[in-house]
Structure 1
Amino acid sequence: MSAPAPAVTAMSEAAAQAAITAACKTLFLPTIRTQATELAQAAARERLTHTAYLAEVLAVECDDRESRRRARRVKEAKFPRTKRLEDFDTTVMPDLPPATLAHLATGTWIDAGQPLVLLGDSGTGKSHLLIGLGTAAAEQGRRVRYITTAALVNELTEAADTNQLSRLIGRYARLDLLCLDELGYVSLDARGAELLFQIITEREERASIACATNAPFSEWGATFTDPRLAAAVVDRLTFNAHIINTGTASYRLRTTQEQRS
């Protein structure tokens, strides 16, 4: 025996609008709440069936929810400024052809847990690429966090002093991508270097780290002080890694000059 058809209650336009508003609040559907009437009018003009109208309304809600999710992921990443890959001029960087950048933008290397090292002098576009790739990853739904090396070490040190280190390391371990900027800019004391090493080890071959550094690998001993620790860090951040040399010519200076000309 087939189930009875659902009952439909006749109601005025005002009552229907009130019912939609109340239901959308209960079901957390803000986009439908604000656009249902406008979409209904458009559906009437296009002579859509009730089913087609329902599909349109649900699609609008889903699209808006996805947009909000992407924006939330980007906000949670805590990027210091907005930088997008499409604004980066790859013609000034022979070691980064457009095809390579397009591949990196897909984020498949993140899914594979591979590291990325952006290596070059100050002003050569490392941070732009780091933030741009991180933003692309966040907009694809991945959990991303940007932080400078010095800030991360300070955060780890404070956590260790308050017996919160395991919790903090666990939080960083759950990220899909850790964007670590300014690696090698300042020397780390022994304790800070060891704490940073714990983060790197926790993510080894499992979750990606993208780092930007102005120091060649041979000089990382000056940052980590202990040569063995420096060698271990280099080994973990370069194994199966994408290494991009951004060169020595200042991308920042060139861009500024072009904008002024």
Structure 2
Amino acid sequence: MNDIKDMCKSLRLAYVAEIYHSIPFENKDQYLRNLFEKEFELREEAKADRLLKKAKFLYSKELDTYQWGDHVHFPPHLEKDELLSLQFIDRYENVILTGAPGTGKTHLATGLGRHACRKGYEVRFYRVSDLVDQLEKTWQEGKLQSFRNRFKKVNLIILDEMGYIPFSKDGAELLFQLISDWYEQKSMIITSNLEFSQWNRIFTDTRLTAALVDRVIHHAHVLSFTGDSFRVRNALSKRP
């Protein structure tokens, strides 16, 4: 057994030594095919697990538990199946989810991000206020460029809760720099409770706000969410 493990290690076969005895044998071709298929399958699962951990999602919400309904309004040029295909990532396009709190924006953003990890994409999830805090800290420590370099191999960045907390002038400018780095180089999913015309509430500089919105929506699919909060409805439904 140790010899088999050593040979597999040399050949960089991570799982064969552990699974070869459990593969049914009908003939040589079938056995080898099934053995290597299982090796590939386990490698993909391990890769997905690594990507999910690196993404640092705040929630474990999945697409298969998402409640689709008439409250989600797609733009005319985008169908649900195309969104779920993740083609927007390969085209460096953005997905903007806007609407009242509690209407499912973060759930959908998280589900799409976790789905992307399982498809092999490098993803990062941030609550926007936390990201701005990190940007200000790294800037004060003289490590801003190092922080910006972390995104070189990232395919998709999810910015959750844009608009819940206004930024300082420095924070707004630092976030603008980062989003400018990603423009036409990465894809973003942004959730916000504000319409674009209201973003000047969080980015106090009018020119900076206009430039930021221009970059965000240039290659973007904007989905609007209407209706009452799921959380409020659930709470009301539990009343005696």
Same fold (TM over 0.5): yes
- Deviation for aligned residue 1:176: 0.5
- Deviation for aligned residue 1:257: 5.9
Bigger radius of gyration: 1
Aligned equivalent of 1:83: 61
May I ask how many residue pairs the two structures share in their alignment?
A: 238
2:154 to 156, 162, 175: 175
Aligned equivalent of 1:187: 166
- Deviation for aligned residue 1:164: 1.2
Aligned equivalent of 1:7: none
Where does the alignment leave 5 or more consecutive residues of structure 2 unmatched? Answer: none
Where does the alignment leave 5 or more consecutive residues of structure 1 unmatched? Answer: 1-16
Q: 1:173 to 1:232 in 2, by over 3 A?
A: farther
Matched, 1:103 2:82: yes
Q: 1:177 to 1:22 in 2, by over 3 A?
A: same
Aligned equivalent of 2:43: 65
Within 5 Å, which residues of 2 pair with 1:1-261?
A: 17-39=1-23, 42-43=24-25, 46=26, 48-49=27-28, 51-96=29-74, 100-254=79-233
Aligned equivalent of 1:3: none
SS in 1 for 2:45: helix
- With CA pairs under 8 Å and 6+ residues apart, which has the higher RCO, 1 or 2? 2
**Any conservation in 2 of the 1:90–1:96 contact (CA below 8 Å)?**
no
**Any conservation in 1 of the 2:16–2:35 contact (CA below 8 Å)?**
yes
SS in 2 for 1:224: coil
SS in 1 for 2:151: helix
Q: Distance in 2 between matches of 1:256 and 1:34?
A: 49
Q: 1:258 to 1:20 in 2, by over 3 A?
A: farther
Which protein is richer in helix relative to its size? 1
Q: For residue 21 of structure 1, what is the amino acid of its counterpart? A: K
Q: Distance in 2 between matches of 1:211 and 1:197?
A: 14
- Of 67-76 and 244-253, deviating more is 244-253
Aligned equivalent of 1:13: none
TM-score w.r.t. the length of structure 2 is 0.91
Q: Percent identity?
A: 33
TM-score w.r.t. the length of structure 1 is 0.84
Q: Distance in 2 between matches of 1:256 and 1:106?
A: 34
- Deviation for aligned residue 1:88: 1.2
- Of 177-186 and 83-92, deviating more is 83-92
After superposition, the C-alpha distances for 1:204-246 in whole angstroms (9 at most, x for unaligned) are 1221111000111111111011111111111111112100001
After superposition, the C-alpha distances for 1:84-116 in whole angstroms (9 at most, x for unaligned) are 11211212424149x823211111111111111
Q: For residue 82 of structure 2, what is the amino acid of its counterpart? A: H
**Any conservation in 2 of the 1:173–1:202 contact (CA below 8 Å)?**
no
After superposition, the C-alpha distances for 1:175-203 in whole angstroms (9 at most, x for unaligned) are 10000001010010100000000111011
Q: 1:108 to 1:23 in 2, by over 3 A?
A: same
